[in-house]
Structure 1
């Protein structure tokens, strides 16, 4: 009996014992085997163990339109640090830009405006003029988030702008007396944090905040839980309490504080929920930390230290094994494998003479985008002809 004549369930079981190299070679045996091995089901087990393959820890496929075989091949480049680097956009004035990705559109804040740029992955530059501009702030945009229906931004003027992505209508929300450093939004709920030492709760249609929470410290970061029952605030850690606190949305009461050994000034600059009970944070204390909210008391279960003692401005995870972080000096982007404590790969994007933090980074299955003070950088991890094997 030929291999291709075996029942499909038996053949699947046999192929499940092969690594990605063996499967790639098997593809070249014949047309019949090529068609079978290219099925996503054959590659799924391997993909779950790769970095940024699009398969999350709970089995969700983030990029269902991209064949798993292609993503596994690209994942080897993420692991080895094989990529091509481009500067997509430059500007003369030093800014504090922020980024968001929505499929093939990149949103970039520059001063008081946010531009939407179509991504052409074969291009080394972004078109100079965005296809859409969101404005309304009288000062610089500090942070912004995307939802399915809205773009919501917080600015140095203390205002929050709610832009409809469908009707192109905008609404300005006032309530903070100083810059809005951070915000998050889910299903019509908005949580904002400000230098005025308050966190505020809004809806998409409210002209004034539904509630104001005194924080007694500058608020640098916020994140709403995927269940929307709670949210987390990260403060500057200039007072005698933990900079990380979890709040109940309905009662607006502090449920718990995370960690008790933060040194003074170890403010939390970015917070990412990977699931309702898995939380990742980073900040001035140079650590990426993973918190398990199922434990009692909730505690840090893993941490990764920036080896050059730099503050970490931003992080993003792939929902499985990979973390990407942006450092405060020389535009350093680091790739971490959660199964290891040491940094896996790093990329210095700014020169030794012109140091800039990575203010924000975002990645998809094949590219990582990093916003520095005067430029937007791209790392392309796709398989290139020069490194095919």
Structure 2
């Protein structure tokens, strides 16, 4: 009798005695056994994995994942994330230093360079195409500092205080409309919008403005609703569009995180003990993540009005940006050496792994990480001079294990 002829109960009893590596080998050997092991065993083991977990099929992961992974593949890829095993690739080298911004979808990666926003297609054989599909811009030559894409709408802000809005429908991008929203002497840092309510927000080093958008004859008009004298470095609207959360570039009282009620306009000082916020993400209606100048990544709970989790950078470096996987994993980009830290919000006070890009003849990797994004297989890191892409779904990757920097580093 062949193993595939055994009934399901007996198969599962046999598999309960097998080691994990043996089960993975069986998955690769036979399609029927693969489906049985994948569904009945590995599906439960992989629900809460960092960056590869699938509990509730969180929307953040589903939106960004380029290729669907089977459960046994998720387990292997998650192991590579945890022990630092990957292959590194370099894209889009440019001599002029520029702090690029990234946005990732399942089929495309959007990246800024100078006054352009470029859209690159993701292929099945490699992380990205080397030629862009579209170059999105307007006549204004000022650099793009921040942009947001939600569904089919792209909203981008420039250094000079102007913003442009365009539609990306089925790969067809319209020309875009330019609107002057801040004075030329202001430095526009950040933008966001709530597509459902046509509510847009812009933040500069001088003030923050709330706008309501109306469309007539296919032309947009932005009406100023509120103005706040806050120099936000980063800001985000809540998922329901009722709250605006912002991080000040500096606050001498170490209360740099603020919340603004969009309906009433009331401003709240949140009890997060940080002097400057470089990046901010909204986890859900109760929790905010911040990457801070004071070398910490913080998790703030609105219900308790305090930081419920604080993770310090192991090298006392400021954290410039962060990305959330939708479940338990948070990636933070550091100021020095293009380093990325992986944190598990279930594990208090300690990082899980560190990722250091390799040094090259053209670039010594001393750049900050200006923006990062990821799916369950790839990590995209924007530096001064290029884009670094780490591929964790590899069997021949190089292991760079920095999970404990106080012991000897392992290379394989």
Of the three residues 196, 221, 230, the one matched with 1:207 is: 221
Change (3 A) 1:119 1:32: closer
Residue in 2 that maps onto 1:281: 290
Residue in 1 that maps onto 2:409: none
The answer on 1:174 being equivalent to 2:180 is yes
Residue in 2 that maps onto 1:149: 152
Decide which moves more: 46-55 or 311-320. Answer: 46-55
Residue in 2 that maps onto 1:233: 246
Residue in 1 that maps onto 2:43: 44
Secondary structure (helix, strand or coil) at the match of 2:46 reads helix
Change (3 A) 1:370 1:244: same
Residue in 2 that maps onto 1:331: 338
Paired positions, count: 377
Residue in 1 that maps onto 2:123: 120
Residue in 2 that maps onto 1:379: 390
| Higher normalized contact order (CA 8 Å, seq sep 6+, divided by chain length) | 2
The answer on 1:34 being equivalent to 2:47 is no
TM-score w.r.t. the length of structure 2 is: 0.82
Change (3 A) 1:92 1:56: farther
The answer on 1:132 being equivalent to 2:134 is yes
Of the three residues 368, 371, 389, the one matched with 1:360 is: 371
Q: CA deviation at 1:345?
A: 1.7
CA distance in 2, matches of 1:386, 1:240: 46
Decide which moves more: 174-183 or 139-148. Answer: 174-183
Q: How large is the Cα RMSD of the aligned pairs?
A: 3.0
**Contiguous gaps of at least 5 residues in structure 2:** 400-412
Alignment of 1:294-305 (within 5 A): 294-295=303-304, 298-305=305-312
Change (3 A) 1:16 1:43: farther
Q: CA deviation at 1:339?
A: 3.0
Q: CA deviation at 1:291?
A: 1.3
Change (3 A) 1:310 1:385: closer
Q: Deviations over 1:119-160 (max 9, x none)?
A: 235348742x42101112431100111111111111101011
CA distance in 1, matches of 2:149, 2:248: 23
Residue in 2 that maps onto 1:318: 325
Q: Deviations over 1:22-65 (max 9, x none)?
A: 642554786643331133x6433211231111425786672594
Q: Deviations over 1:313-341 (max 9, x none)?
A: 10001122211111111111111222332
Residue in 2 that maps onto 1:243: 256
Q: Does the aligned pair in 2 maintain the 1:4–1:32 contact within 8 Å?
A: no
